[in-house]
């Protein structure tokens, strides 16, 4: 692959593009387009934006991703969690439904796009690692609950709001007397239908003799049927006059050219939300892309994915959209429908553009309750509390991080939840590495091996203390080692030599070097000599660049046995 092709993947896959590939991509595009129309509308509703924003966010961004992304099957557009995070972020700066709200969504997409692009160009894909798996799992589960709860107001036909579970439930309960019964009936029927489509339709189709792949795809188009039937029903029975909220007029036309608001107040308020949206979106997208790529032994380049997603979000910012990322369900449909290259994405964009141009009058009577039902059914599959049980069994530290993430996301909103999860998992990791295992070792009689004196019968010498450190030494555990040595030597008057056995030390950072210097000074003050043994090559190279080895009173022994022979009296 050439250097240019790395940053512009079509140069790579475009050269092998054949008529057969084209056919497969076109078929996949048609199926994904049909699926995306209701989904895009629904997620726009979730984000608090006009319905067309969801369609717009699925046109230019998909094309840009298909030019710069590396996944063959990833379908980019609005997704549930990012839509919720968008609502939470811009809810701080503007009233949902206002002009400023839609403008802030553009700014958020711009910030997110610029960050993703910048991280991609600087090859900073590794920052996504700051999100541990349990934190992501907890966050997605809690977000799913928040999203489903946020949609209950559309099913009940009452006004409600808030960005935490408690706020949402409180405002819902406060309006429970004002439930609109026609809306509730439509909403419950749609939700029931969609659940049945999800669980019951596929087995039915299979029994009817359809191929599994076809049955799967047909089952995924259930929301389209729900949309069509409910729209017809509203129109036929005049349900809108009975209080059923409908989508109403959606402007016909291609995505408009929009300019995001760049006022510094807005930018600074949206900065942190944009960071979180970018990273969450990136992590979600990369895991989907990797899972799909693995099935065909293809590879994706995470840093180039950042560029692709960055371009997609910039595209969303300038064409009336809002933050987008690679979605799980749509990508799986795209993959299962046979998409072979990112060109399938471009064809999907064409399909959606046609829908934006021609089909929007058809959804005038589409009830919002049905869109809410599609969201609820989609996100409840994200809710998976088994992570709590699994992490509890495996590691209490991971369990703590998951539980904190879930509780804080539900109780204080998405931003607090994910931030707390990241900080807590980092803190727990640092806590663990800040207390490395250090064993006092002695010689196993008749061998040259040294083992923990607490676990084995070994020879020791009162004048010689050997400590084996089972971890790299860096700032978080440097002081621990200082304390440990200090504790051990206090009031031990027979001691003359301390040997640090470094066989498991892969790194000694500057803090650890200074701790070693401090240990050396303190040992000197107590008339004890410090030695090292079994120092690895790269660590030794570093130490040679400092003055430590000159200052250290003792020697560096190649093997611990050499140290033993040199420092203990002959028996």
Instruction: Identify residues 491-520 at the interface with its own copies (CB under 8 A).
Output: 491-493, 504, 506-507, 509-511, 513-515, 518
Q: Pull the structure tokens for residue 173.
A: 């309960």
Rounded least distance, CB 128 to its own copies, Å: 7
Residue 343 CB burial class (10 angstroms; 0-12, 13-18, ≥19): buried
Q: Site for its own copies (CB under 8 A): how many residues?
A: 73
Rounded least distance, CB 155 to its own copies, Å: 34
Helix (H) or strand (E) holding 103: helix 99-121
- Verify binding: residue 440, its own copies, rule CB under 8 A: no
Give the residue among 73, 68, 80, 59 at the shortest CA–CA distance from 8.
68
Q: Pull the structure tokens for residue 326.
A: 């690679």
Rounded least distance, CB 535 to its own copies, Å: 15
The binder of its own copies chosen from 489, 549, 556, 566 (CB under 8 A): 489
Q: Rule CB under 8 A: which of 35-94 touch its own copies?
A: none
Query: 390 to each of 130, 139, 543, how far by Cα in Å?
Result: 21, 15, 43
Which is nearer to its own copies, 386 or 457 (by Cβ)? 386
The binder of its own copies chosen from 170, 451, 456, 479 (CB under 8 A): 479
Rounded least distance, CB 469 to its own copies, Å: 11
- At residue 122, φ and ψ (nearest 5 deg) are -85, 0
Which is nearer to its own copies, 292 or 499 (by Cβ)? 292
Tokens 């495996």 label which residue? 394
Which is nearer to its own copies, 170 or 451 (by Cβ)? 451
Q: Which one of 77-85, 265-273, 318-326, 542-550 is the stretch in contact with its own copies (CB under 8 A)?
A: 542-550
The binder of its own copies chosen from 96, 174, 256, 470 (CB under 8 A): 470
Which is nearer to its own copies, 21 or 395 (by Cβ)? 395
Rounded least distance, CB 526 to its own copies, Å: 5
Q: Pull the structure tokens for residue 124.
A: 């900073």
- Verify binding: residue 297, its own copies, rule CB under 8 A: yes
Burial 100-127 (b: 16+ CB within 10 A, else e): ebbbbbbbbbbbbbbbbbebbeeeebeb
The binder of its own copies chosen from 207, 545, 570, 571 (CB under 8 A): 545
- Verify binding: residue 559, its own copies, rule CB under 8 A: no
Rounded least distance, CB 132 to its own copies, Å: 3
The C-alpha atoms of residue 141 and residue 84 are separated, in whole angstroms, by 13
- Taking the CB of residue 431, how many other CB atoms lie within 10 A of it? 11
Rounded least distance, CB 217 to its own copies, Å: 20
The binder of its own copies chosen from 483, 551, 558, 565 (CB under 8 A): 483
Which is nearer to its own copies, 440 or 514 (by Cβ)? 514
Query: What residues does 451 pair with on adjacent strands?
Result: 442
Which is nearer to its own copies, 429 or 456 (by Cβ)? 429
- Verify binding: residue 397, its own copies, rule CB under 8 A: yes
Strand ranges inside 424-522, DSSP E: 438-443, 450-452, 464-469, 497-501
The binder of its own copies chosen from 21, 171, 221, 291 (CB under 8 A): 291
Count of residues making up the chain:
571
HEC profile of 504-567: CCCCECHHHHHHHHHHHHHHHHCCCEEEEECCCHHHHHHHHCCCHHHHCCCCEECCHHHHHHHH
Rounded least distance, CB 423 to its own copies, Å: 10
Q: Rule CB under 8 A: which of 355-394 touch its own copies?
A: 390-391, 393-394
Q: Rule CB under 8 A: which of 111-140 touch its own copies?
A: 126, 128-135
DSSP per residue, 112-172: HHHHHHHHHHTT-GGGGGGS-HHHHHHHHHHHHHHHHHHHHHHHHT-----SSHHHHHHHH
Question: DSSP letter at 414?
Answer: H
Task: Give the side-chain half-sphere CA count within 13 A for 176.
Answer: 6
- Verify binding: residue 471, its own copies, rule CB under 8 A: yes
Rounded least distance, CB 413 to its own copies, Å: 19
- Verify binding: residue 455, its own copies, rule CB under 8 A: no
Q: Which one of 79-87, 200-208, 291-299, 347-355 is the stretch in contact with its own copies (CB under 8 A)?
A: 291-299
Binding-site string for its own copies from residue 410 to residue 439, where x marks contact by CB under 8 A and - marks none: ---------------xx--xxxx-xx-x--
The C-alpha atoms of residue 539 and residue 520 are separated, in whole angstroms, by 18
Which is nearer to its own copies, 95 or 487 (by Cβ)? 487
The binder of its own copies chosen from 30, 114, 463, 526 (CB under 8 A): 526
3-state secondary structure (DSSP) of residue 361: helix
SS3 content of the chain, % helix, strand, coil (to 5): 65, 5, 25
Which is nearer to its own copies, 240 or 482 (by Cβ)? 482
Residue 297 CB burial class (10 angstroms; 0-12, 13-18, ≥19): exposed
Which is nearer to its own copies, 486 or 559 (by Cβ)? 486
Q: Rule CB under 8 A: which of 4-33 touch its own copies?
A: none
Rounded least distance, CB 481 to its own copies, Å: 11
């Amino acid at each position: 692959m050439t250097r240019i092709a790395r940053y512009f993947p079509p140069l790579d896959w475009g050269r092998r593009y054949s008529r057969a590939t084209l056919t497969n991509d076109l078929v996949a595009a048609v199926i994904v387009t049909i699926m995306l129309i209701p989904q895009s509308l629904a997620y726009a509703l979730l984000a608090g934006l006009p319905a067309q924003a969801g369609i717009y966010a699925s046109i230019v961004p998909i094309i840009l991703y298909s030019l710069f992304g590396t996944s063959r099957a990833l379908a980019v557009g609005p997704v549930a969690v990012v839509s919720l995070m968008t609502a939470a972020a811009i809810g701080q700066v503007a009233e949902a439904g206002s002009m400023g709200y839609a403008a802030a969504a553009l700014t958020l997409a711009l910030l997110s796009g610029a960050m993703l692009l910048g991280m991609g160009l600087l090859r900073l894909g590794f920052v996504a690692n700051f999100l541990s798996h349990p934190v992501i799992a907890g966050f997605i589960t809690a977000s799913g609950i928040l999203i489903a709860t946020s949609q209950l107001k559309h099913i009940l036909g009452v006004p409600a709001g808030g960005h935490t579970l408690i706020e949402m439930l409180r405002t819902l309960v406060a309006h429970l007397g004002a439930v609109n019964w026609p809306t509730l009936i439509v909403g419950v029927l749609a939700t029931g239908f969609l659940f049945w489509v999800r669980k019951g339709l596929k087995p039915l189709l299979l029994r009817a003799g359809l191929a599994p792949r076809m049955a799967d795809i047909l089952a995924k188009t259930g929301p389209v049927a729900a949309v069509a039937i409910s729209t017809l029903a509203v129109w036929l029975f005049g349900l809108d006059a009975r209080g059923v909220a409908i989508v109403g007029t959606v402007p016909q036309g291609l995505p408009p050219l929009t300019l995001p608001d760049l006022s510094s107040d807005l930018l600074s308020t949206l900065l942190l939300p944009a960071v979180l949206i970018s990273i969450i979106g990136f992590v979600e997208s990369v895991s989907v892309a990797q899972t799909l790529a693995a099935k065909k032994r293809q590879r994706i380049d995470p840093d180039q994915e950042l560029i692709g997603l960055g371009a997609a979000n910039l595209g969303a910012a300038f064409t009336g959209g809002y933050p987008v990322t690679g979605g799980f369900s749509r990508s799986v449909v795209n993959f299962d429908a046979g998409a072979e290259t990112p060109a399938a994405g471009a064809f999907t964009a064409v399909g959606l553009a046609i829908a934006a141009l021609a089909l929007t009058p058809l959804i005038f009577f589409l009830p919002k309750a049905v869109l809410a039902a599609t969201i609820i059914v989609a996100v409840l599959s994200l809710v998976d509390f088994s992570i709590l049980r699994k992490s509890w069994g495996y590691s209490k530290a991971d369990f703590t991080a998951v539980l904190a993430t879930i509780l804080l996301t539900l109780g204080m909103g998405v931003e607090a939840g994910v931030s707390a999860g990241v900080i807590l998992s980092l803190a727990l990791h640092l806590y663990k590495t800040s207390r490395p295992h250090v064993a006092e070792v002695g010689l196993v009689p008749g061998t040259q091996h040294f083992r923990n004196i607490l676990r084995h019968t070994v020879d020791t010498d009162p004048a010689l203390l050997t400590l084996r450190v089972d971890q790299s030494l860096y700032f978080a555990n440097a002081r621990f080692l200082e304390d440990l040595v200090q504790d051990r030597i206090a009031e031990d008057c027979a001691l003359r030599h301390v040997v640090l056995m470094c066989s498991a030390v892969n790194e000694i950072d500057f803090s650890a070097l200074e701790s070693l210097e401090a240990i050396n000074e303190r040992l000197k003050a107590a008339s004890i000599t410090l030695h090292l043994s079994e120092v690895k090559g790269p660590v030794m190279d570093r130490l040679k660049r400092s003055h430590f080895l000159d200052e250290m009173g003792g020697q560096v022994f190649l093997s611990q046995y050499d140290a033993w022979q040199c420092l203990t009296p002959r028996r």
